[in-house]
Structure 1
Amino acid sequence: MLDRLTGAGHEVTAVVRSDDSRTKVESAGATGLVGDLFDTAWLREQLVAHDAAIHTAAGSDADDQALNTSVVEAAVAAFGGTANPFLLTGGVWTYGSGADLDEDATPNPVPLTSWRVPLEQQLLDSDVRATVIQPGIVYGHGAGIPAMLVGQKSVPGTGDQHWTTVHVDDLADLYVAALESPGGQAYLGVSGDNPAVRELGDAIGPDVEAQGDQATLDALGPFGEALLLDQQASGTKARTDLGWSPSRPPLVDLLREGYPADR
């Protein structure tokens, strides 16, 4: 993300939690700012001094709602009534299962993400120039949820469910494009490639089997319920409105190659 933003000519300040993290982001061309996103008042003061903000940070499942609420409240206080854009990260899981999901679908979130729906609507209804990006399963560079499958002998659920996917570099391109948009919209950040989980298992190795729904729920709880969603989406709106054109290799191809860290 940082290289995409700086490459597009933006000067970037990244909020980090430690001096070590500050050193890393500064080596990537950004200014590191050690701070606490849960401190709404502090964050508002920082945002007032900036022209735009993108929120991609995530906490644990237990504190994700509090973290996002703090950031949204700070953004509304700092950017309300201005032309400064604010991009919030949501997720496709808020739509539940569907064979052709788009941004007009009625929200049907799993419990893990049910809090996102009113918070995102609160932001879009505010006087902030806000955009909500709702990624699918993010993959690439050996990281993300797919990394948990590598080396395993089973995949979640029956394997018949589909996952919406997006390469992390394509997703970064979407954020940069959305930064220049008028705002007031939600966009699904999905490539249009929706592999069945069984396909992912086959790409990992010949002996990978389906774990089964109940075993997945027993092992992973609410997170497992999200992984059992059967979702397909094209991401047409982001292509049409923002000129986004995802082009990175599909997840199945990268898993078949051992899920390399450099792709």
Structure 2
Amino acid sequence: MHVVMTGATGLIGSAVLPRLLERGDRVTALVRSEDAALAVERAGAAAVAIDFGDADAIAAAFAQADGVIHLAAAGDDAEGFDRRVAAAAVRALGGTGRPYVHTGGVWVYGAGDDLTETDPVDPPALTAWRTGIIEALEGADVALTVIHPGIVYGDGGTGIPQLLAQQPRTDDGRLTTLGSGEQHWTTIHVDDLARLYAVVVAAGEGFGPVLGVGGVNPTVAELSAAVAGDAGIATEDPSATEERLGAPFAAALLLDQQASGTKARTIGGWTPTRPTLVEELARGSRD
């Protein structure tokens, strides 16, 4: 299978790429820099430099694929970037039956103690821009899967879980939580998530929305306690979290979300196998 992917050197993509190659897929990674090209070529994939501002170029690259995985992000123009890639996917893959795997995020579903793909979206302001793009894709004739990852971990200490250790400590050394700490986070190990992307694109069909979560939903207090170890934790008022991190980002981090990921387990025999986030954080605090 020839898979064209974006974001091959990012947090998730750098785990997806070896999965595809191990399976024997031919992978073309669309990249923006020479360093990224060298990284994917060393991994065994082909690299194609592309201007992601050029929707025609993106569509031409996608048209060569048996399946496409979009994982890249742009911090300065996230909505415009994603919209161009999605439009290019529709142009290149529309009506062909070839799969397109788009990346969303579990935050678009808002708060809930048993979130599923059929729930209405209720995104915080930070990710509200995603919904229009996804709706446009869902209205097109594309074999579409939108994977909505939970909080991703297992990448060596980057990403959102790293924020927990960066929170201030009290005078007696306790680690401050994000807000009260009572909110749950949906979580997924990056290796498990990578396997999910791989089995979805290999299936050669669209599955619609898929929550990319491992089914373990710890509270932020539990996660912070794993980081803090014997020092313990101290909670704070959510307004203090908002002041420190900014209201939009804090609102997302303070969402109380739980999900089982049942639908994902129906695709290609996928099941999560990696250690939980609490286990990883606790091990890190002891190292």
Q: Same fold by TM-score, threshold 0.5 exceeded?
A: yes
Which is worse superposed, 219-228 or 101-110? 219-228
Choose which of 65, 69, 74 in structure 1 pairs with 2:83. Answer: 69
Q: Distance in 2 between matches of 1:13 and 1:196?
A: 39
Q: 1:228: how far off? A: 0.4
Q: 1:84: how far off? A: 1.5
Q: Look up the match of 2:6.
A: none
Q: Look up the match of 2:159.
A: 144
Which is worse superposed, 237-246 or 187-196? 237-246
Q: Look up the match of 1:97.
A: 111
Q: Look up the match of 2:52.
A: 37
Q: Is the Cα contact below 8 Å between 1:141 and 1:260 reproduced in 2?
A: no
Q: 1:181: how far off? A: 4.7
Q: Look up the match of 2:7.
A: none
Distance 1:91 1:254, change over 3 A: same
1:134 alignment partner, SS class: strand
Choose which of 10, 18, 23 in structure 2 pairs with 1:3. Answer: 18
Q: Distance in 2 between matches of 1:11 and 1:212?
A: 50
Choose which of 107, 111, 124 in structure 1 pairs with 2:138. Answer: 124
Distance 1:150 1:126, change over 3 A: same
Q: Is the Cα contact below 8 Å between 1:85 and 1:130 reproduced in 2?
A: yes
Q: Look up the match of 2:10.
A: none
Letter in 1 for 2:197: Y
Q: 1:240: how far off? A: 2.1
Q: 1:133: how far off? A: 0.3
In structure 2, list runs of 5 or more residues that go unmatched.
Answer: 1-15, 168-174
Q: Look up the match of 2:211.
A: 188
Letter in 2 for 1:76: V
In structure 1, list runs of 5 or more residues that go unmatched.
Answer: none
Q: Look up the match of 1:27.
A: 42
Q: Deviations over 1:236-255 (max 9, x none)?
A: 01102442100100000000
Q: Look up the match of 1:226.
A: 252
Q: Is the Cα contact below 8 Å between 1:187 and 1:238 reproduced in 2?
A: yes
Choose which of 184, 198, 203 in structure 2 pairs with 1:162. Answer: 184
Q: Distance in 2 between matches of 1:21 and 1:260?
A: 34
Letter in 2 for 1:217: E
Q: 1:49: how far off? A: 1.9
Q: Distance in 2 between matches of 1:83 and 1:247?
A: 31
Q: Look up the match of 2:263.
A: 237
Q: Is the Cα contact below 8 Å between 1:65 and 1:116 reproduced in 2?
A: yes
2:146 alignment partner, SS class: strand
Letter in 2 for 1:125: G
Q: Distance in 2 between matches of 1:69 and 1:233?
A: 27
Q: Is the Cα contact below 8 Å between 2:149 and 2:193 reproduced in 1?
A: yes
Q: Is the Cα contact below 8 Å between 2:67 and 2:204 reproduced in 1?
A: no
Percent of residue pairs bearing the same amino acid type: 47
Q: Look up the match of 2:222.
A: 199
Q: Is the Cα contact below 8 Å between 2:67 and 2:100 reproduced in 1?
A: yes
Q: Distance in 2 between matches of 1:102 and 1:242?
A: 19
Distance 1:241 1:25, change over 3 A: closer
Q: 1:20: how far off? A: 1.2
Q: Distance in 2 between matches of 1:165 and 1:110?
A: 18
Q: 1:33: how far off? A: 1.6
1:86 alignment partner, SS class: strand
* Number of residue pairs aligned between Structure 1 and Structure 2: 260
Letter in 2 for 1:209: A
1:150 alignment partner, SS class: helix
Which is worse superposed, 149-158 or 62-71? 149-158
